[in-house]
A and B are shown apart, each in its own frame.
Chain A
């Protein structure tokens, strides 16, 4: 009898802040001026939507990959530390994580600008005579997003790695496996649930990125979230905006479903044991 009661606050929150807006978005999306299918028709015919959607998927994928590649060794290192020192390293990862996304994004524009830190350094070092363009490039968007999401990758991976039975790697080494072989055949497979969970989180978070691509990428690197903003504020077409929001949600659900199919649930949340 108590259990449902305990879930009530969360369910209420979910109902108010997710179900109600979701139903409203469904309503707007299917009841525009142009009839029930106006939103869907726009999605199919718009020259912008397909391009931006594809770009958003590509961006989310590449940011996810880069975060995993950079985060994995860092997580290995942190997980391998004794308990006393691990806390210090985790704090170093968490510190930027707790800093506002807006602040971190804006700071990048100071670094990457034409007269910013990076260009000043390159000119001072004699690597270039002319300031190079870094702002509003794919590089800027990637730098900003990777820096923001990297702690998510590291924390998720460390969580799984500290749960591992280190004895198994030792056993492989004792039985004659080279360090590389022990890593490749023992350690890496054991961390797979962590990699998949991190990839899922990173991909979903990247899909909805708004402020970083807007500030560092500009309109030439719009994501779906930016395009929704443009629809709402410039084109006044909320039907199209809602339709795009639904596509974004469906993509997220599809990504989650795919990953759960790749890795059974108990492995996702229960560590590797």
Chain B
């Protein structure tokens, strides 16, 4: 029998160290936060840019779930079975969440200790994570070289023939109808509901499909089910890159904010807020914008963006100038009644 050599000892020590490292990382990994977002191809980018580095740095695991659903949030709060530590929220849902006490107050000393975020992004129960727009998208190969320019053109089925696609919701569609009818963008609210539905009557026959999800918006255009329809601005650039004949119009788009919020009863609110802080890194923000043109208000972000990329962002000054600013307060208040009227209108 040979004696234990120095090399063996070395191996042992290495093994021990590795084991110890495994143990400590396992202990740190004990906390895993569940982050609920919109899923899709974006989830992969988020994992690469934010979630993995965050786990490597803090030892806090991140589990991503989808989709964003205020109904699920309500169910989880009311049954006391909160699965999420952090969730994405739309503007009107955010107001609903605050009104119904479904959310936890943000501890800004964790998320933004140096107070660098603009006030619009720092709210009591949520942080603005991104901006996005609902805009018109159209098939560039279907109108003989002509391009629609406005909501009036969307309604003009003589000059731009072919089926349309709209969201199955009164939200924004009423605004779009009023814009098509000539109401100025800054005079939309409170909405003239009668006038909007009357205008919608004119286009109803030409709407071949009423979408409910982001994936459907572009599917309808690519399949030719519709030649013009509404989409979220970020859905189109990847299609253009693939060479698909689609483009968007910023004119008359609905500029909206989306939020991060910590649900009431979340199991790891502090860890969730640390993750929120990691989402404010401008360098990572620039990386994310390559995959998803939905910029937030991370300080220093816009200065770092390539000017070519900036042109396809909803908050580029040229794009802001032609859009209207979506009013979530109005919709939080009127959505149930108007949704019911919308559903009845669709049946008639």
- List residues of chain A with CB under 8 Å of any chain B CB: 46-48, 51-52, 55, 113-115, 133, 135-136, 218-220, 222, 227, 230, 232-238
Contacts and interface: CB of A to CB of B under 8 A. Distances in A.
Contacts of A46: 340
Contacts of B131: none
Contacts of A219: 168, 210, 343, 346
Listed from nearest, the 3 A-B pairs whose CB atoms lie closest are: A47-B344, A235-B336, A115-B224
A235 B339 contact: yes
Contacts, number: 66
The listed residue with most A CB atoms (<10 A of its CB), out of B224, B225, B336, is: B225
Contacts of B343: 48, 52, 219, 222, 227, 230
A52 B336 contact: no
B66 to A, nearest CB: 15
A135 B224 CA distance: 12
A25 B96 CA distance: 23
B104 to A, nearest CB: 20
A contact face: mostly helix, strand, loop, or mixed: helix
The listed residue with most A CB atoms (<10 A of its CB), out of B168, B208, B336, B343, is: B343
B contact face: mostly helix, strand, loop, or mixed: helix
A107 to B, nearest CB: 14
B124 to A, nearest CB: 21
A135 B216 CA distance: 14
B209 A234 contact: no
A113 B223 contact: yes
Interface of B: 69-71, 74, 96, 163, 168-169, 208-210, 223-225, 335-336, 339-341, 343-344, 346-347
Nearest to A233: B71
B225 A135 contact: yes
A115 B346 CA distance: 25
B169 A136 contact: no
B347 A220 contact: yes
A232 B209 contact: no
Nearest to B225: A114
Contacts of B74: 236, 238
Contacts of A234: 169, 335, 339
30 contacts: A47-B340, A47-B341, A48-B340, A48-B344, A48-B347, A52-B343, A113-B223, A114-B225, A115-B223, A115-B225, A133-B208, A135-B209, A136-B208, A218-B168, A218-B210, A219-B168, A219-B210, A219-B343, A222-B343, A230-B343, A232-B71, A233-B70, A234-B169, A234-B335, A234-B339, A236-B70, A236-B96, A236-B336, A237-B336, A238-B74
Contacts of A220: 210, 346-347
Contact of A55 (B96, B210, B224, B347): B347
Contacts of B163: 114, 133
Contacts of A237: 336
A52 B345 CA distance: 12
B224 A222 contact: no
A115 B343 CA distance: 28
Nearest to B70: A236
Nearest to B211: A218
Given A114-B223, A136-B209, A218-B209, A230 B347 contact: no
A115 B336 CA distance: 36
B163 to A, nearest CB: 7
A218 B343 CA distance: 11
B339 A135 contact: no
A136 B340 CA distance: 20
B231 to A, nearest CB: 17
